Amino acid sequence: MRHMSVILVSSLLTSLACAATAQEDGAVSNGQQFGEWTVSCEAIAVNRTACVLTQALLRDTDQAFIAQMLAFWSGDGTQSYVAARVPVGAYLPAGFAMRSETSEEVIQFTWQTCTQQFCEAMAALGAEKITELATGEAQIVASYRPGLAVDPIVFSFSMAGAGAGLAALHPDKG
């Protein structure tokens, strides 16, 4: 499963053109933790590194891959995004959605692409909304349908650290 996470992270960094770019000035480092999120960076050009926040979600009972959550900036730093990667075969018409345990507001994601390794959905969320979701003890509840004739997978994860991590990754930081 660890090998799968490495492949997923590597694929993300090469496939998302809108990932944040950061100069290697020591402000953040690959593998640095922000709450439940881990910084994952890849060199994209001389003195340019694309960095995102990642959180791999595995089933407790057998460590099977459920989803990988990602948070990142557009290249110009004007918009932050949250993306979700799920196993191939997801029933796309059912969508991918998340909400805070303490709110009825549902955030719908738009499916972006499917590769041989995963399907990816994304939502544009302002940094303020991400910080709001990360505040307090509430978990985020998310779901998607892994196949047409299969019950939805409903899981929870934490946004704790996402706001601070995105602030550290902002292209105009410093």
Per-residue pLDDT of 82-98, as tens digits, reads: 999 999 999 999 999 99
CATH 2.60.40.1880 for domain 2-169: yes
Per-residue pLDDT of 100-132, as tens digits, reads: 998 899 999 999 999 999 999 999 999 889 988
Per-residue pLDDT of 31-83, as tens digits, reads: 999 999 999 999 888 888 889 999 999 999 999 999 999 999 998 999 999 99
Whole-number pLDDT of residue 31: 95
CA dist 157 and 141 (Å) reads: 7
CA dist 136 and 159 (Å) reads: 10
Confidence (pTM): 0.81
Question: pLDDT class for 173, splitting at 50, 70, 90?
Answer: low
Token readout for 150 is 């299969």
